[in-house]
Amino acid sequence: MKSRLRPGRVLAWLALAAFILITLFPFWWMVRTALTPAADIYTDNAGLLPRHPTLINFSRILGLVSEERARAAGGSGARIDFAGYLLNSVIYCGVIAVVQTLFCAMAGYAFARLRFPGRDLVFGIVIAALMVPPIFTLLPNFILVKDLGLINTMAGMVAPTVLMTPFAVFFLRQFFLSLPREVEEAAILDGSGPWGIFWRVALPMSRGPLITIGITTTVWAWKDYLWPLLVGRGEDNRLVTVALGVFLQQSPNTQPDWTGLMAASTLSVLPVLVLLILMGKRLVQSLNFTGNK
C-alpha cells in the first residue's frame, strides 16, 4: 500500500512546491529589478539576475544622493524620501497597535468581568458596528476630521482607529471570559479593586492574546491606504503606501520608473518580512485562533 501511495505523494509535494514558487517569485523579481540600473531596464529584463547589480535605486529613493545623480539614475527629480515615509508608517502602526490594544483590553475586561447595568446592551451596540462597512463611516469621518482641522496631521490619520475597533473589543472579551476566575478571586480577597486586578492579574495573564491582536492590528495598519490617502497626502505625514501611489504618478515619461518603484516596494515589504521572521509562529497560530471563532 505504501508503494501505491508514493507517486501520489510526490505529485502532491510537487503541486505544493509549485504554489510556493508562484507565491515567492514576484518578490524575487521585485528585488531583482530594484538591483538593476534604470538604464538597463529595456535590455536586461528577462534574466533571473541583473547583469550590473547596483544599490543606486535604494540610495536615490532614500534621498541619499544629490538630485542630479538621482535624475541621472532614472528619477523624476521630484523630492523622494522613503526613509521619512517609513518612519511615518512605523509611528502610525505603533501608535494604533499599542493604544488601541490597551483601550480595547480595558473594555473587553469590563464587558467580560465587571457588573454594571446595561452591560450586554452596550456590548451588543458596539459589536453591531462590526457589520458596518468602512465606506459608510469613511465619508462622514473625513468631513469630521476636516472640520476639526486635522487634515495632514498624524492625529487625524490615527483618530478613527486609535481608540477602538469593534473586532478587538470582541476578541479580547472572548479571551477574558475564558480566563479562570480563581486567581482574580484571590486578588479580590486580598482587597484589590477592579483596576488593580486588571493591571496586576488579568493583563499579565493575557500576554499571548494581547500580542496576537497587537500584531494583527499592526499588519492591517501597515496595509492601510484609502484613509491615509485622504487625510495624510501631505509630504510631512505621508505613509509608505500613499508615497508608493504618489511615486507611480510622478513618472517622468510614459514608462514608470520601475527600478525606483521596485526599490521602494522592497522597502515596504522589508518590515513585514522582519515581523514574519520574528513572529511567524505566533501569526500562524493566531489564524487558528481567530479562524475558528
Partner 1 sequence: MQIRGGDGGEMRVKRRRDDRRAAWWFLAPVLLGFAVFYGYPAARGVWYSLTDYSMLNTPSYVGAENYAKLASDGQFWNALLVTAWYVVLNIGSQTLLALGVATLLHRLTRSVVLRATLLLPWLVPNVTVGLLWMWLLDTNLGFVNHLLAVFDAGPVGFFTDQTWAMPSIAAINTWAYTGYTALLLYAGMLQIPQYLYEGAAIDGAGEWRMFRGITLPLLRPVLALVLVVSLIGSFQIFDTVAVTTKGGPVSATRVIYYYIYQQAFTYFHMGYAAAAAICLALILGVLTAVQMRLLRASRSDLA
Site for partner 1 in 34-63 (CB under 8 A): 41-42, 45-46
| Residue 13 touching partner 1 (CB under 8 A) | yes
Q: How far apart are CA 106 and CA 112, in angstroms?
A: 10
Q: How far apart are CA 38 and CA 257, in angstroms?
A: 8
Least spacing, CB of residue 288 vs partner 1, in Å:
4
SS3 (DSSP) at 172:
helix
Out of 33, 101, 206, 212, the only residue in the binding site for partner 1 (CB under 8 A) is 33
Q: How far apart are CA 29 and CA 46, in angstroms?
A: 10
Out of 122, 150, 179, 203, the only residue in the binding site for partner 1 (CB under 8 A) is 122
Least spacing, CB of residue 16 vs partner 1, in Å:
5
Site for partner 1 in 263-282 (CB under 8 A): 265, 268-269, 272-273, 275-276, 280-281
Q: How many CB atoms neighbour CB 205 within 10 A?
A: 16
Q: Where does this chain touch partner 1 (CB under 8 A) — which range of 24-32, 62-70, 71-79, 90-98?
A: 24-32
Q: How far apart are CA 214 and CA 92, in angstroms?
A: 13
Q: How far apart are CA 44 and CA 271, in angstroms?
A: 28
| Residue 21 touching partner 1 (CB under 8 A) | no
Helices vs strands, H then E, count in the chain: 15, 0
Nearer residue to partner 1 within complex by CB, 34 or 67: 34
Site for partner 1 in 172-211 (CB under 8 A): 181, 185, 188-189, 193-195, 198
Q: Where does this chain touch partner 1 (CB under 8 A) — which range of 19-27, 51-59, 69-77, 206-214?
A: 19-27
Those residues with Cβ within 8 angstroms of residue 14's Cβ, 6 or more apart along the chain or in another chain: none
Site for partner 1 in 80-109 (CB under 8 A): 103-104, 106-107, 109
DSSP letter at 77 equals: S
Out of 7, 26, 180, 253, the only residue in the binding site for partner 1 (CB under 8 A) is 26
Nearer residue to partner 1 within complex by CB, 3 or 46: 46
Q: Where does this chain touch partner 1 (CB under 8 A) — which range of 56-64, 67-75, 156-164, 205-213?
A: 156-164
Out of 3, 7, 22, 253, the only residue in the binding site for partner 1 (CB under 8 A) is 22
SS3 (DSSP) at 206:
coil
Residue pair 283/215 in contact (Cβ under 8 Å)? The answer is: yes
| Residue 121 touching partner 1 (CB under 8 A) | no
| Residue 246 touching partner 1 (CB under 8 A) | no
User: For the packed helices 166-178 and 119-128, what is the interaxial angle rounded to 10 degrees?
Assistant: 140
On the 0-12 / 13-18 / 19+ scale of CB atoms within 10 A, 268 is: buried
Q: Where does this chain touch partner 1 (CB under 8 A) — which range of 54-62, 70-78, 205-213, 259-267?
A: 259-267
